[in-house]
C-alpha cells in the first residue's frame, strides 16, 4: 500500500549466544537480504544495546530506510526500545516490526527462523504510519474504600493539591483497623493511631467523603473516568442504589482499597466454631481485648484463676482443602500480640500457641516473638486436628510433632487465627472496573515484582489488603505507592492513548451493534442518528474482537489489517 517503494532494513540479533548458539544468524541475514524490499540486512550481537540501536538510526539516515525489522526477542521485551530508536532517526515508530526468533525459535527449536523473518518483512512492507494521541486528564481522583489504605492514599493525593472523592460502604472511616485494639510490635493503641488520621481526612479541604456509598457505574478511561456513586443497598452483594439521577464524579485516576474479609471457620467443622461458645476468632478476640481494657473480664464465668487459653494458627490459610493455599502473612504476629495481651490481663493464665511455622518477619517481629516466649507463652508445634467438648471446657486433639506424640490439651478459650480473604461483596467493583483476580481471589497486580500497585486497566490502582494480605506498615507503604502512581497522569495533565486501534469503515457498517456487545472496553458505540458504529480511539485497546465479529467486515484493525496478516501467512507458507 506504500506509495513509494519500501526500503527495509532488517537486523538479526545474536542476543549474546541466546539466539546464535542454535540459529545460524549469518545465514539468516543472508537469506533476509534476498527478501523483497530489503536493502540492508545485518546481524549483530546485541540489537537492544546502545550501539545496536545506533546501527538502526545510522542505517535509516544513510540508506534512506522507511521500514525496520528486528529479528530478536519478544516484542514484549524491546518493541518500545526499537520504536524509540526509529523515532529518534525520524521514522514513524509504527513502521517497525519484530520477528521473535528467540522465544519462538532459538529457545525451543531451530526450524522456522526463515519463515518468521520472511513473515515479518512481508508485514512491515504493508504497515502504515500511526500517530500517537494525547488526551487531557481530569485533575482529580476517586478512592474506593475508607479504610487505612484508602485514607492514606487519599491524603497523599489531596496534599499534592488534587481533589479526592473517597467512597466508603459503611457508616464510618477506619475499616478493619478500626476493629483492632492494639497493634504489634509496639502494642500501641490503634485508636490513637487512627483517630488523627480520620480527623485529617474528614477535615481536609480537598477530600470529599461519601459514607454508606457504593460505586454504581464506571465509564470512561484513564484520565477521563465518570464514576456514578449511589447509596449502599445490599451489604452482601455490594449492590448499590441503581436509581437514576445519581451523582457522577469525573476523575483522572481510581484507587481500589476495598480491604478484606476474614475466613469463616465454619468451613472447618472439626474446630467446632459456632457449636462451642469458647471457640472464637482472632477478630472476635480483638473485640474482647478492647472490652477488657475498659474493665470487663476477658473470659466470663471463669472457673479457675489460671484459665487455659489456646491459639490455633493457620485457620483457613495454607489450606488447599478450603481453597486458600496461600499464607495470610499477618496471623503469626497477630497471635503473638494477642497472646502477649492475654498474659498481661491474666498473668496466671496458661497460654499455648499451636503452630506449624512461625513467620514473625518485619521490623521488631522476631524480637517480639522472643519477648512473648519469655513471658511464658508456650509454642507447641502441631496443627490441631479437632476440638471436642470436655465438660464446660473443650479439648484440643493434636499431635505435638516435636515430641512425636498425640496430645489432648484442655482449654477454657480457643482462639482461631483466621486468614484473610478477598471481600465477598467486591464482585461488582471487579466487574465495573474490569479488574482481574489472581488465583487466590485477591485483585491482580500488573507484575508481582515490579508493578505492585498497577492493574491491567490503565488509571486504576490497588492499595492494601484487596491486593493480598498484609500488615499495617505494608498497607501504608502500598497506599502511598498507589497515590504516587495515581498522581502521575494527574500531574502530567495528559495521557498517551494506544495507537493501533480499530477503525470502522462507515460505508460498510450495517449498524447491527454486534461490535458494541462484544467489546470488553466499551469502545464502540452506535451513532444515535446515523446508526453506524464509531470506535473511541482512546478506549480501544486494539484487541480485535470487534473486527472478527463484524459480519460486514467493516472494521479494520490498524497495524493488524487483513492484508498484513494474509501477507504474513503467505510468507510463512512459502518458506
Phi-psi region of 434 (alpha: psi -120 to 50; beta: other; left: phi over 0): left
Residue 379 to residue 386: CA distance in whole angstroms? 18
User: Are 83 and 27 a contacting pair, CB within 8 Å?
Assistant: no
- The reply to whether 384 sits near other proteins by the rule CB under 8 A is yes
- The reply to whether 393 sits near other proteins by the rule CB under 8 A is no
- The reply to whether 420 sits near other proteins by the rule CB under 8 A is no
Q: Give whichever of 281 and 499 is closer to other proteins, judged by the CB atom.
A: 281
* Interface with other proteins in residues 251-270 (CB under 8 A): 269-270
Point out which span in 13-21, 365-373, 394-402, 513-521 binds other proteins (CB under 8 A): 394-402
Half-sphere exposure for 4 (CA within 13 Å, toward CB): 6
Q: Are strands 393-400 and 405-411 parallel, antiparallel or unpaired?
A: antiparallel
Q: Give whichever of 68 and 396 is closer to other proteins, judged by the CB atom.
A: 396
Q: Give whichever of 388 and 510 is closer to other proteins, judged by the CB atom.
A: 388
CA triplet 479, 232, 472: central angle to 5 degrees? 25
DSSP structure class, residue 106: I
Q: Which of 276, 355, 245, 275 is nearest to 311 (CA)?
A: 355
User: Are 568 and 123 a contacting pair, CB within 8 Å?
Assistant: yes
Q: Give whichever of 320 and 529 is closer to other proteins, judged by the CB atom.
A: 320
* Binding test (CB under 8 A) with other proteins, winner from 27, 187, 356, 378: 356
Point out which span in 36-44, 311-319, 452-460, 491-499 binds other proteins (CB under 8 A): 311-319
Minimum distance of other proteins from residue 388's CB (angstroms):
6
- The reply to whether 400 sits near other proteins by the rule CB under 8 A is yes
Minimum distance of other proteins from residue 464's CB (angstroms):
27
User: Are 292 and 345 a contacting pair, CB within 8 Å?
Assistant: yes
Question: What is Dmax (Cα atoms) for the chain?
Answer: 96
- The reply to whether 491 sits near other proteins by the rule CB under 8 A is no
Q: Are strands 308-315 and 350-355 parallel, antiparallel or unpaired?
A: parallel
- The reply to whether 274 sits near other proteins by the rule CB under 8 A is no
Query: x/- string (CB under 8 A) for other proteins, residues 24-63?
Result: ----------------------------------------
Q: Give whichever of 9 and 382 is closer to other proteins, judged by the CB atom.
A: 382
Minimum distance of other proteins from residue 314's CB (angstroms):
8
* Binding test (CB under 8 A) with other proteins, winner from 193, 233, 397, 514: 397
* Binding test (CB under 8 A) with other proteins, winner from 385, 431, 494, 531: 385
Q: How far apart are the first and last CA of the chain?
A: 23
- The reply to whether 399 sits near other proteins by the rule CB under 8 A is yes
- The reply to whether 401 sits near other proteins by the rule CB under 8 A is yes
Residue 335 to residue 322: CA distance in whole angstroms? 21
User: Are 287 and 179 a contacting pair, CB within 8 Å?
Assistant: yes
DSSP structure class, residue 498: P
Point out which span in 61-69, 106-114, 315-323, 455-463 binds other proteins (CB under 8 A): 315-323
* Binding test (CB under 8 A) with other proteins, winner from 382, 459, 489, 524: 382
Q: Are strands 8-13 and 67-72 parallel, antiparallel or unpaired?
A: parallel
Q: Give whichever of 94 and 326 is closer to other proteins, judged by the CB atom.
A: 326
Minimum distance of other proteins from residue 200's CB (angstroms):
43
Whole-number Cα distances in Å, 31 to 121, 370, 496, 522, 543: 12, 69, 38, 44, 33
User: Are 471 and 265 a contacting pair, CB within 8 Å?
Assistant: no
- The reply to whether 570 sits near other proteins by the rule CB under 8 A is no
Point out which span in 97-105, 378-386, 487-495, 566-574 binds other proteins (CB under 8 A): 378-386
Task: Give me the DSSP letters along 443-492.
Answer: BPPSBTTTBSSB-SSTTEEE-GGGSS---HHHHHHHHHHHHHHHHHHHHH
Point out which span in 153-161, 316-324, 519-527, 548-556 binds other proteins (CB under 8 A): 316-324
User: Are 102 and 72 a contacting pair, CB within 8 Å?
Assistant: yes
Q: Give whichever of 39 and 397 is closer to other proteins, judged by the CB atom.
A: 397
Whole-number Cα distances in Å, 88 to 39, 56, 70, 71, 183: 20, 10, 16, 20, 54
* Binding test (CB under 8 A) with other proteins, winner from 386, 505, 562, 570: 386
* Interface with other proteins in residues 108-167 (CB under 8 A): none
Q: Give whichever of 270 and 366 is closer to other proteins, judged by the CB atom.
A: 270
Point out which span in 95-103, 136-144, 386-394, 455-463 binds other proteins (CB under 8 A): 386-394
Secondary structure, 3-state, 66-94: CEEEEEECCHHHHHHHHHHHHHHCCCCHH
Q: Which residues contact 297 (CB under 8 A, 6 or more apart)?
A: none
- The reply to whether 389 sits near other proteins by the rule CB under 8 A is yes
* Total site size for other proteins, rule CB under 8 A: 24
Beta bridge partners of 464: none
- The reply to whether 440 sits near other proteins by the rule CB under 8 A is no
* Interface with other proteins in residues 165-204 (CB under 8 A): none
* Binding test (CB under 8 A) with other proteins, winner from 129, 376, 406, 448: 406
User: Are 262 and 418 a contacting pair, CB within 8 Å?
Assistant: yes
Q: Give whichever of 388 and 456 is closer to other proteins, judged by the CB atom.
A: 388
Q: Give whichever of 371 and 400 is closer to other proteins, judged by the CB atom.
A: 400
3-class secondary-structure state, position 281: strand
- The reply to whether 404 sits near other proteins by the rule CB under 8 A is yes
Residue 118 to residue 125: CA distance in whole angstroms? 11
* Binding test (CB under 8 A) with other proteins, winner from 24, 264, 319, 371: 319
Minimum distance of other proteins from residue 379's CB (angstroms):
14
- The reply to whether 74 sits near other proteins by the rule CB under 8 A is no
Residue 353 to residue 313: CA distance in whole angstroms? 8
Query: x/- string (CB under 8 A) for other proteins, residues 514-543?
Result: ------------------------------
- Which residues contact other proteins (rule: CB under 8 A)? 269-270, 314, 318-321, 356, 381-386, 388-389, 397-401, 404, 406, 408
Amino acid at each position: 500500500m506504500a506509495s513509494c517503494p519500501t526500503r527495509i532494513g532488517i537486523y538479526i540479533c545474536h542476543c549474546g549466544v541466546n539466539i546464535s548458539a542454535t540459529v545460524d544468524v549469518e545465514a539468516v541475514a543472508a537469506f533476509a537480504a534476498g527478501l523483497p524490499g530489503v536493502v540492508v540486512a545485518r546481524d549483530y550481537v546485541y540489537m537492544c544495546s546502545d550501539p545496536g540501536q545506533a546501527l538502526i538510526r545510522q542505517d535509516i539516515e544513510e540508506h534512506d530506510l522507511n521500514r525496520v525489522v528486528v529479528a530478536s526477542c519478544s516484542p514484549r521485551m524491546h518493541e518500545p526500545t526499537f520504536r524509540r530508536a526509529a523515532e529518534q532517526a525520524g521514522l514513524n515508530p509504527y513502521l517497525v516490526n519484530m520477528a521473535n526468533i528467540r522465544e519462538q525459535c532459538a529457545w525451543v527449536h531451530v526450524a522456522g527462523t526463515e519463515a518468521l523473518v520472511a513473515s515479518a518483512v512481508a508485514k512491515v512492507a504493508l504497515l502504515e504510519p500511526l500517530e500517537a494521541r494525547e488526551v487531557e486528564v481530569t485533575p482529580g481522583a476517586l478512592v474506593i474504600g475508607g479504610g487505612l489504605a484508602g485514607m492514606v492514599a487519599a491524603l497523599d493525593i489531596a496534599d499534592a493539591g488534587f481533589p479526592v472523592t473517597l467512597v466508603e460502604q459503611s457508616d464510618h472511616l477506619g475499616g478493619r483497623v478500626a476493629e483492632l485494639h492494639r497493634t504489634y510490635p509496639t502494642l500501641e493503641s490503634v485508636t490513637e493511631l487512627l483517630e488523627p488520621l480520620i480527623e485529617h481526612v474528614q477535615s481536609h479541604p480537598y477530600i470529599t467523603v461519601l459514607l454508606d456509598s457504593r460505586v454504581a457505574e464506571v465509564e470512561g478511561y484513564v484520565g477521563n473516568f465518570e464514576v456514578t456513586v449511589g447509596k449502599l443497598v445490599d451489604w452482601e452483594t455490594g449492590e448499590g442504589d441503581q436509581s437514576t439521577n445519581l451523582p457522577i464524579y469525573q476523575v483522572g485516576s481510581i484507587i481500589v482499597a476495598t480491604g478484606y474479609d476474614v475466613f469463616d471457620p465454619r468451613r472447618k467443622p472439626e474446630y467446632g466454631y459456632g457449636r462451642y461458645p469458647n471457640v472464637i476468632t482472632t477478630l472476635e478476640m480483638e473485640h474482647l481485648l478492647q472490652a477488657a481494657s475498659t474493665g470487663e473480664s476477658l473470659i466470663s464465668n471463669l472457673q479457675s484463676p489460671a484459665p487455659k487459653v489456646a491459639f490455633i494458627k493457620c485457620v483457613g490459610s495454607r489450606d488447599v482443602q478450603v481453597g486458600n493455599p496461600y499464607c495470610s502473612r499477618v496471623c503469626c504476629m497477630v497471635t503473638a500480640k494477642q497472646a502477649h495481651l492475654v498474659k498481661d490481663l491474666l498473668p496466671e493464665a496458661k497460654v499455648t500457641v499451636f503452630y506449624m511455622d512461625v513467620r514473625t518477619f518485619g521490623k521488631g517481629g522476631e524480637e517480639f516473638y522472643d519477648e512473648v516466649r519469655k513471658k511464658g507463652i508456650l509454642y507447641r508445634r502441631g496443627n490441631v486436628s479437632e476440638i471436642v467438648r470436655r465438660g464446660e471446657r473443650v479439648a484440643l486433639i493434636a499431635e505435638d510433632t516435636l515430641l512425636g506424640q498425640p496430645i489432648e490439651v484442655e482449654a477454657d478459650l480457643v482462639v482461631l487465627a483466621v486468614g484473610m480473604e478477598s471481600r465477598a461483596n467486591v464482585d461488582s467493583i471487579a466487574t465495573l472496573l474490569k479488574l482481574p483476580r489472581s488465583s487466590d481471589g485477591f485483585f491482580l497486580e500488573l507484575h508481582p515484582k515490579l508493578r505492585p500497585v498497577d492493574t491491567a486497566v490503565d488509571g486504576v490502582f490497588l492499595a492494601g489488603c484487596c491486593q493480598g494480605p498484609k500488615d499495617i506498615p505494608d498497607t501504608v507503604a502500598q497506599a502511598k505507592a498507589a497515590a504516587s502512581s495515581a498522581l502521575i497522569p494527574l500531574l502530567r495533565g495528559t495521557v498517551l492513548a494506544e495507537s493501533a486501534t480499530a477503525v470502522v469503515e462507515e460505508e460498510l457498517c450495517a449498524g447491527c451493534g454486534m461490535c458494541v456487545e462484544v467489546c470488553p472496553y466499551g469502545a464502540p458505540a452506535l451513532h444515535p442518528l446515523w446508526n453506524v458504529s464509531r470506535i473511541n480511539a482512546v478506549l480501544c485497546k486494539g484487541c480485535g474482537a470487534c473486527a472478527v465479529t463484524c459480519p460486514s467486515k467493516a472494521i479494520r484493525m490498524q497495524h493488524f489489517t487483513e492484508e498484513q496478516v494474509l501477507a504474513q501467512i503467505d510468507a510463512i507458507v512459502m518458506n
